[in-house]
Amino acid sequence: MKVCTNCRLQYGDGEDVCPKCGEPLQQIPAEFLKTPRPAPVSDDPADHTAEFDPKDISDNKVFAMLPYLGLLKMIGIVISLLAAPASPYTMFHVRQGLKIFVSQVLAGICFFVLAVIDWFLIVVVDDWDFTYALAGISAIILFVVCVFFLVVQIIGFCGVCGGRAKEPPVIRRFGIMK
C-alpha cells in the first residue's frame, strides 16, 4: 500500500503519483496515517489564528468579542481586560479594539479641527459660500469614515465569531500595539 504524504490518501502498489495533488507516493507504515496532521499555516501575515491554542479560543470567544461592540467599545475593552487577562487570544482582540478606538479618536480630532476652521470662516471671514461647501464636504467625509469604522468593527466581530485572530483591514497598518 502506497500513501501520499501530502493528502494522506492510500493507493494501490501500482500507482506512483497521487492523482489528487501530483506528489510522489511512498511506502509508509500505517502509524503515519494515525498521527495528527499539523494545522495549516496561513500565508496571510495578518492572520494570527495558528498562534493561539484552540481551547483558549473557544473558552474566551465571548470576551474577545467585547472590544468590537460599537459605542460600548471602551467598556468592552475594560471588561475583557478584567475577565480574561491570562488569555492571549482575548488580549490580541483587545489590542485590535484599542487600535480601532485610537483611530476613531484621531478621526474625531480631525473633524473637530475642521469644525473650528468652519466656525472661523463664518465669524472672521464671513464667506458663506465657502463655509457651506466646507461643511457639506466635511459631513460627507464624516459619514464615510463612520461607515468605514462600522465595517471594520463588524469584520473584527465576525472574525471572533469564527474563532479567527486576524487583524482588521487598514487598522493593521498601524504599528502601534503589536
- Which contiguous run of DSSP H or E holds residue 99? helix 88-120
pTM (two decimals): 0.67
CA 109 to chain centre: 24
Cell of 66: 467585547
130-136: long-range contacts (C-beta < 8 A, 24 or more apart)?
none
pLDDT of residue 147: 92
Beta bridge partners of 26: 3
pLDDT of residue 3: 77
pLDDT of residue 26: 78
pLDDT of residue 91: 93
**Phi and psi based region of residue 144 (left: phi greater than 0; alpha: psi -120 to 50; beta: remaining):** alpha
pLDDT of residue 176: 62
pLDDT of residue 138: 84
As averages over each run of 10 residues, the pLDDT of the chain (178 residues) reads 74 78 75 59 76 89 88 83 91 90 88 83 73 81 90 90 86 67
